[in-house]
Structure 1
Amino acid sequence: MTDLSADLVQQKQKLRERLRFRRRHFAANLDGMAQLAAFRVLPAPLSELLADHAIVGAYAAWGDEPDILPMFASVAEAGALALPHHAARVETMDFRRWRPDEDLVKGPWGTQQPNGDSPLANPDLIFCPLIGFDRQGGRIGQGGGHYDRYFTAHPDALRIGIGWSVQEIDRAPRESTDIALDAILTEQEFILCGDRL
């Protein structure tokens, strides 16, 4: 690892610590009504976009990540929702179909995921969690690179980051392996980042 890449890794880690603190306090101080309203209904542009995609990828919220599964209730009921799945504590991640009447199990990273017997899926529209973001599509994730590797292997899938507005930063530091988002959805706005949407 060169000094430059080591500096970038250290810079990202400091940002993660600061942004996790910011996210934790923001989520803890949301009043009950704001919590109930946040991420419950898809904004119109996204509702229209969902109609054009056979399989939608989402995630089961962990900690103080926004809980987005209520937004996709009808998609899940129709069998068109897939969630990330890890077979073990390895670098690879896939997506598996999930319906609301199916239990989620604790995965090797501590997150909730579909059972390993659930059918594999390749979503063509993916809503992913993040620690930080910028308006150019830069994303800071947990640091494992799971989503970036998945995005690299599935370049045609549209990528929409999900986060609280307080997670925005001026510019996310980027490594060559970081894949830009097409858009970001916060509790306040829908931000287009590229020209694919």
Structure 2
Amino acid sequence: MTDLSADLVLQKQKLREKLRFRRKHFAANLGAMARLAAFRVLPAPLAELLAHHAVIGAYAAWGDEPDILPMFADIAATGALALPHHTARTDTMVFRRWRTDEPLEKGPWGIQQPLNEASLAAPSLIFCPLVGFDRQGSRIGQGGGHYDRYFAAYPDALRIGVGWSVQEIDAAPRESTDMTLDAVLTEQEFILCGDRL
């Protein structure tokens, strides 16, 4: 690792800590009712976009992440929703189909995921959690690179980050392996970041 890339990793790590703190306090101060009300209805442009995709990727919220699964209840009921899945901490992230009436289990990272026997899927539109973002589509994730590797393997899949508005920063530091987002959805707005949507 060069000094430049080591500095960038350290910069992202410090920024990640700051943004996690910001997210935690924002979510706590929202209050239970306001937090439950956020991310319950798809904005009109997104609802129209989802109609053109056979399988949608989403995630089960962890900690202070926005809980978006209620927003996709109708899609999940039809079997057109898929969630990230890990068999072990060392494996590659995949997506497995999940319906609202099916159980979720705790994966190796402590995050709820579909059961191992759920069908594999390759979503063409993916909603992913984030720790930080900027309006150019740069995303700061948890630091494991799971989503970036998945996005690199499936570059045609549209990528929409999901976070609270307080997670926005002016410019996120970028590594060569970081994949940009096509849009970001917050509790306040839907931000287009590129020209693929």
When normalised by structure 2's length, the TM-score is 0.99
Provide the aligned C-alpha RMSD in A.
Answer: 0.7
d(CA) in 2 for partners of 1:97, 1:125: 14
Which is further off, 34-43 or 151-160? Answer: 34-43
The equivalent of 1:147 in structure 2 is 147
d(CA) in 2 for partners of 1:36, 1:152: 33
Q: Quick check: 1:60–1:68 contact (8 Å CA) kept in 2?
A: yes
Q: Quick check: 1:130–1:139 contact (8 Å CA) kept in 2?
A: yes
Query: Identity percentage over the alignment?
Result: 81
d(CA) in 2 for partners of 1:29, 1:56: 31
The equivalent of 2:178 in structure 1 is 178
The equivalent of 1:165 in structure 2 is 165
d(CA) in 1 for partners of 2:196, 2:63: 31
d(CA) in 2 for partners of 1:23, 1:40: 19
**What secondary structure is seen at the aligned counterpart in 2 of 1:150?**
helix
The reply to whether residue 124 of structure 1 matches residue 161 of structure 2 is: no
When normalised by structure 1's length, the TM-score is 0.99
The equivalent of 2:94 in structure 1 is 94
The reply to whether residue 191 of structure 1 matches residue 185 of structure 2 is: no
Q: 2:139 is matched by which residue type in structure 1?
A: R
Deviation beyond 3 Å, 4+ runs, structure 1: none
The equivalent of 1:83 in structure 2 is 83
**What secondary structure is seen at the aligned counterpart in 1 of 2:30?**
coil
Q: How does 1:37-116 map to 2 (within 5 A)?
A: 37-116=37-116
Q: 1:191 is matched by which residue type in structure 2?
A: I
The answer for unaligned runs of 5 or more in structure 2 is none
Deviation (angstroms), 1:91: 4.7
Deviation (angstroms), 1:162: 0.1
The answer for unaligned runs of 5 or more in structure 1 is none
Q: Quick check: 1:50–1:56 contact (8 Å CA) kept in 2?
A: yes
d(CA) in 1 for partners of 2:91, 2:188: 33
